[in-house]
């Protein structure tokens, strides 16, 4: 299959798949007994607003799927966060943008504070990481497939039990700049993904040391797999771990008969570079707008 060119219809599918995985992730936190993080998820037209009473960061207080046709809902969205005294982020994608929408955002007191890249690509049908099918491909065969030679030191395991999830959590925390001592917070809020439908979690080892993590969500409605939640422990960076994890997820997407793979990354970041080297293409660069009470 040839990678389709981006168009508004395809952009809408990719955006819906992102909203689907994000809703699933935040819902898993909301599903904790007593909803201790005070999660709320609210629909405003086609847009979805997310709020957390205990976690003030933009990733937990944001609006996905907002477009020109929802401009008349902006006042309601602002009121939702204003009543909770919470700043929020709102994604503006090119396919859903218009001059009137930008004017409404400015009039509502929002400002654009950053850009973010959205990428897409095709699944792959060859897996090069040790310990899974097709590991015996020769260097020549790998070059024919246009896939990288993965270092022999890398082993990737799918996380399927709570003991391994603890290792996954520790690597994610350290790789995200947090203390390993705080991993219980990550575990509490993400253990729900372990056996949640559509989610698969992967832990990469460098020799026998847990070194990097990544996740994948399969949106069956749009037939798109989203790559998410990747992190590498600082001492293991620049060794090809995230490239290996990316190809593993692209391979698993193919095994699940996904049509496309999608991902998001900070503009110009090493994550974006890894994705482009894996033949993913930039679908668009979104504007991230912020409102502060």
Tokens describing residue 169: 């959590």
Are 28 and 193 in contact, with CB atoms under 8 Å apart?
yes
pLDDT of 127 reads 59
pLDDT at residue 135 in the model: 45
Examine the pLDDT at 133 and tell me if it is beyond 70. Answer: no
pLDDT band with cut points at 50, 70 and 90 for residue 242: very high
pLDDT of residue 131: 41
Instruction: Note the maximum CA span of the chain.
Output: 61
Task: Indicate the DSSP class of residue 3.
Answer: P
On whether the CB atoms of residues 243 and 278 are closer than 8 A, the answer is: yes
Condensed to tens digits (0 to 9), the pLDDT of residues 275-286 reads: 999 899 999 999
Helix H, strand E, coil C: the string for 138-207 is CHHHHHHHCCCCCCCCEEEEECCCHHHHHHHHHHHHHHCCCCHHHHHHHHHHHHHHCCCCCEEEEEEEEC
**CA gap 64, 52 in Å, rounded:** 15
Residue 136's pLDDT is 44
Q: Does domain 120-129+145-284 have CATH number 3.40.630.30?
A: yes
Mean pLDDT of the region 44-57: 97
pLDDT at residue number 148: 63
Residue ranges per structural domain of the chain: 8-117, 120-129+145-284
pTM: 0.89
| pLDDT tens-digit series, residues 137-171 | 444 344 334 556 678 899 999 999 999 999 999 99
Q: Which tens digit of pLDDT belongs to each residue from 8-27?
A: 999 999 999 999 999 999 99
Q: What is the pLDDT of residues 86-116, one digit of tens each?
A: 999 999 999 999 999 999 999 999 999 999 9
Per-residue pLDDT tens digits for 246-285: 999 999 999 999 999 999 999 999 999 999 998 999 999 9
* pLDDT at site 126: 65
What is the reported pLDDT for 152? 87
**The pLDDT of residue 230:** 96
């Amino acid at each position: 299959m040839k990678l389709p060119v981006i168009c508004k219809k395809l952009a809408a599918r990719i955006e819906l798949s992102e909203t689907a995985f994000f809703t699933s992730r935040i819902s898993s936190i909301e599903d904790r007994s007593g909803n201790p993080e005070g999660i709320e998820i609210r629909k405003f037209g086609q847009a979805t607003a997310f709020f957390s009473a205990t976690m003030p960061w933009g990733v937990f207080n944001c609006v996905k799927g907002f477009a020109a046709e929802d401009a008349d809902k902006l006042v309601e969205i602002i009121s939702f966060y204003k009543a909770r005294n919470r700043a929020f982020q709102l994604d503006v994608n090119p396919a859903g943008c218009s001059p009137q929408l930008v004017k409404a955002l400015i009039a509502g007191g929002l400002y654009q504070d950053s850009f973010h890249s959205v990428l897409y690509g095709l699944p792959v049908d060859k897996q090069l990481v040790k310990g899974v099918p097709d590991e015996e491909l020769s260097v020549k065969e790998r070059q024919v497939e246009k896939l990288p030679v993965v270092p022999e030191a890398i082993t990737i395991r799918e996380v399927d039990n709570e003991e391994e999830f603890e290792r996954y959590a520790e690597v994610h925390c350290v790789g995200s700049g947090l203390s390993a001592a705080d991993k219980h917070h990550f575990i509490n809020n993400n253990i729900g993904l372990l056996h949640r439908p559509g989610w698969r979690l992967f832990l990469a080892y460098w020799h026998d040391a847990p070194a990097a993590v990544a996740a994948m969500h399969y949106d069956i409605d749009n037939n798109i797999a989203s790559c998410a939640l990747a992190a590498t422990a600082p001492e293991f960076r620049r060794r090809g771990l995230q490239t290996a994890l990316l190809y593993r997820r692209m391979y698993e997407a193919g095994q699940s008969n996904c049509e496309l793979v999608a991902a998001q990354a900070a503009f110009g970041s090493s994550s974006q570079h890894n994705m482009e080297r894996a033949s993913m293409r930039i679908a668009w660069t979104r504007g991230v707008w912020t409102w502060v009470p």
